[in-house]
Structure 1
């Protein structure tokens, strides 16, 4: 929420959608009124089960073009925000599937820590690349994150709109 600056009505794509952090991102985006909430996974079975958590469209990245599927789901506009846990292998598709002024928040690099960037795409679309980690945050910054999380998410947790289910392979 904080780093991605997601607003109601904006579109979001979450990579590695069945993992814990990604599932939390999906539910938070849905609770905030993001539309569409797009989930990406290499498992069609996992994608089918994610619809109950706020996913509007699923992309099976082992079978279909990520970019084509995002463009179809967003009326060829692209997504406003991508939450990326994959890193390098998804980077080019992440660049190509974002809307003008789209944001990418990278929270993990399970696929690879490196990628090449086409600076013209970054420039023409006025994209933002945002890296997130707790490892380099001060104690004060960590406290501020916890306070923001409590302020923004406790009502949804109390109402049962956010939960962390286990989705097995």
Structure 2
């Protein structure tokens, strides 16, 4: 089959490379999926050959059809349309543990389906499960123009947030957000945290979903209300920062870190079930819609990767497989 692997000839700037590799063999708990569309994500940018065994397919989300069902799988049959947040998605075939696969309603097309798992599973977990958003609260999304930021904004609106405030570096991208996503935006420049506090009558925001990480931490704390909560999701600005412990103590703030990488299969399955119960019906009803930037062919993945690396996209970049 055809699939994307990491090109080891450029270790300082790893690239996705098209290769011919064996079709995966499933275990008794896995489904074999004929991939229709896969989603390109920022996690694909930092890959090196050290992350994978030789000729291992990369990619983290997909939509496609079940072509083989493991002996111990339940609830799935050949021909089922599914989507999943799972490894090895950038190929003609991929294997997925049946516990994290989500059935795809006929109302949702392949492109939309492949745009959902990474962004909306992450956003729902951060905003609702970990952030414990309550109706009437004010939410700030740091890095709102990122994919998960856009998803979190839509979800916050639909789950009763009184006000959604977005912060990002690009004013051009902020200007493209709609009233269904955000009430007020601020470019991330000197004084942004004070501007957010002024916009909230000096109170600060109740909940922050942070996609930036490095460089945003203390501004986030300044913008946070007393006893506010922050969920650290992304590291677009880097993986380290300096914490003002005095400000943390004064705000009596709660900071929660999240990632899927350290979760076991049962935890990932719980996230998939919450996604199926709470997100899919909203997509079918037309209340949630991922923003799609473009659809590239599998052979164009290298160029699509560079587009993402240069931040020249706004929305999901998809790879059409078959």
TM-score range relative to shorter protein:
over 0.9
**Which of 134, 153, 158 does residue 279 from structure 2 map onto?**
153
2:218 paired residue number: 92
Count of residues paired in the alignment: 168
| 8 Å CA contact 2:150, 2:181 repeated in 1 | no
Q: Supply the distance in 1 between the matched residues of 2:239 and 2:169 (Cα, whole angstroms).
A: 19
2:177 paired residue number: 50
| 8 Å CA contact 2:231, 2:258 repeated in 1 | yes
1:77 paired residue number: 203
Q: Supply the distance in 1 between the matched residues of 2:141 and 2:281 (Cα, whole angstroms).
A: 23
1:32 paired residue number: 159
Give runs of ≥4 in structure 1 deviating > 4 Å.
none
2:228 paired residue number: 102
- Larger % of helix: which? 1
Q: Supply the distance in 2 between the matched residues of 1:46 and 1:156 (Cα, whole angstroms).
A: 25
CA shift for structure 1 position 146: 1.2
| 8 Å CA contact 1:36, 1:73 repeated in 2 | no
CA shift for structure 1 position 154: 2.7
Q: Supply the distance in 2 between the matched residues of 1:65 and 1:150 (Cα, whole angstroms).
A: 40
2:145 paired residue number: 18
- Larger % of strand: which? 2
Q: Supply the distance in 2 between the matched residues of 1:158 and 1:75 (Cα, whole angstroms).
A: 37
Runs of 5+ unmatched residues, structure 1 = none
Q: Supply the distance in 2 between the matched residues of 1:43 and 1:155 (Cα, whole angstroms).
A: 32
Structure 2 residue 242 is matched with structure 1 residue 129? no
Q: Supply the distance in 1 between the matched residues of 2:208 and 2:242 (Cα, whole angstroms).
A: 18
Q: Aligned-residue CA RMSD in angstroms?
A: 1.5
Higher relative contact order (CA 8 A, sep 6+): 1
Structure 2 residue 187 is matched with structure 1 residue 60? yes
Runs of 5+ unmatched residues, structure 2 = 1-127, 294-312, 315-322
| Cα-to-partner distance string for 1:137-164 (whole Å, 9 max, x where unaligned) | 0100011111122222233222211111
CA shift for structure 1 position 50: 0.9
Say which is worse superposed, 116-125 or 85-94, in terms of deviation: 116-125
Question: Aligned ranges for residues 2-13 of structure 1 at < 5 Å?
Answer: 2-13=129-140
Q: What SS does structure 2 have at the residue aligned with 1:46?
A: helix
